[in-house]
């Protein structure tokens, strides 16, 4: 269970000047306010944006290949109107179906946000009951290499147990979860517990 020192809590609540905290608590205060700021702020770019930017960069660097002649020859399609409708429907399905997988939670869903402080880690992922404890399904990000890894995901409302897996091998219960449950395997290890609100 993570317990915040009451003096830090007062500083967080604005009831105490953070400068009056002892040095060791000032560090806690700075870490908590940093994490809070991170929770409230969106990253400058999404993963998709950065991947696309890199692809565009590669395209710019590569010499433009000359297209084969058959690509430059004009081609005439003859299409019956009824097929036009079918093609339009197919295009719409391809374009719009992925939008249904957007990040807007449904009525029985909510947003789960994960933040972990793992300085020096090469990878951090979240594994839990919401993804059948399958590895590789939800990776956290640390774009600015400050050791704070984060990610958010839409999940069904309700209870989910989870763990962080650091560098692919170290299982860690989220120190900021606030709720924990014994994993039942007899070694006294605990899973973090997340309750997603609709």
Q: Which residues bind another protein (CB under 8 A)?
A: 1, 3-4, 6-7, 9-10, 16, 39-43, 46, 101-105, 110-113, 127, 129-135, 137-138, 151-156, 158-159, 161, 163, 171, 178-179, 181-187, 191, 193, 195, 197-198
DSSP percent split of the chain into helix, strand, coil, nearest 5 = 35, 25, 40
Query: 147's torsion region: left (phi>0), alpha (psi -120 to 50) or beta?
Result: left
Per-residue tokens: 22: 């002892």
* Cβ 67 to another protein shortest distance, Å: 36
Nearest to another protein of 117, 180 (CB atom):
180
What's the closest the beta carbon of residue 121 comes to another protein, in angstroms?
19
CB contact set of 44 (below 8 Å; sequence gap of 6+): none
- Closest contact distance (angstroms) between CB of 99 and another protein is 11
CB-wise, 56 or 135, nearer to another protein?
135
In the complex, minimum distance from the CB of residue 185 to another protein, in angstroms, rounded to a whole number: 4
Radius of gyration of the chain (CA): 24
CB of 146 to another protein, least distance (A): 16
Closer to another protein by Cβ: residue 57 or 182: 182
Q: Which residue has the tokens 């374009």?
A: 95
Residue 154's contacts (CB-CB under 8 Å, 6 or more residues apart) are 103, 104, 105, 106, 109, 110, 111, 112
Nearer Cβ to another protein (6/74): 6
| Cβ proximity to another protein, 127 vs 148, nearer residue | 127
| φ, ψ for residue 109, nearest 5 deg | -130, 165
Smaller CB distance to another protein: residue 75 or 187?
187
**Cβ–Cβ < 8 Å for 166, 172:** yes
Residue 122 CB, shortest distance to another protein, in Å, is 19
Q: Are the CB atoms for 2 and 175 separated by under 8 Å?
A: yes
């Amino acid at each position: 269970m993570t317990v915040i020192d009451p003096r830090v809590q007062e500083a967080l609540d604005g009831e105490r000047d953070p400068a009056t905290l002892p040095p060791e608590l000032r560090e806690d205060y700075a870490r908590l306010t940093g994490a809070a700021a991170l929770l409230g702020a969106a990253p400058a770019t999404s993963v998709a944006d950065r991947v696309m930017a890199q692809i565009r960069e590669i395209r710019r660097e590569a010499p433009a290949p000359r297209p084969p002649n058959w690509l430059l020859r004009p081609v005439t399609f003859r299409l019956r109107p009824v097929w036009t409708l079918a093609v339009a429907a197919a295009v719409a399905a391809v374009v719009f179906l992925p939008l249904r997988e957007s990040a807007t939670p449904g009525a029985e869903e909510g947003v789960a946000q994960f933040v972990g402080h793992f300085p020096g880690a090469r990878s951090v992922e979240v594994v839990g009951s919401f993804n059948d404890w399958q590895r590789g399904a939800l990776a956290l990000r640390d774009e600015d290499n400050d050791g704070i890894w984060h990610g958010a995901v839409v999940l069904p409302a309700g209870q989910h147990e989870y763990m962080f897996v650091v560098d692919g091998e170290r299982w860690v219960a989220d120190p900021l979860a606030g709720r924990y449950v014994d994993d039942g395997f007899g070694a006294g290890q605990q899973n973090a517990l997340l309750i997603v609100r609709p």
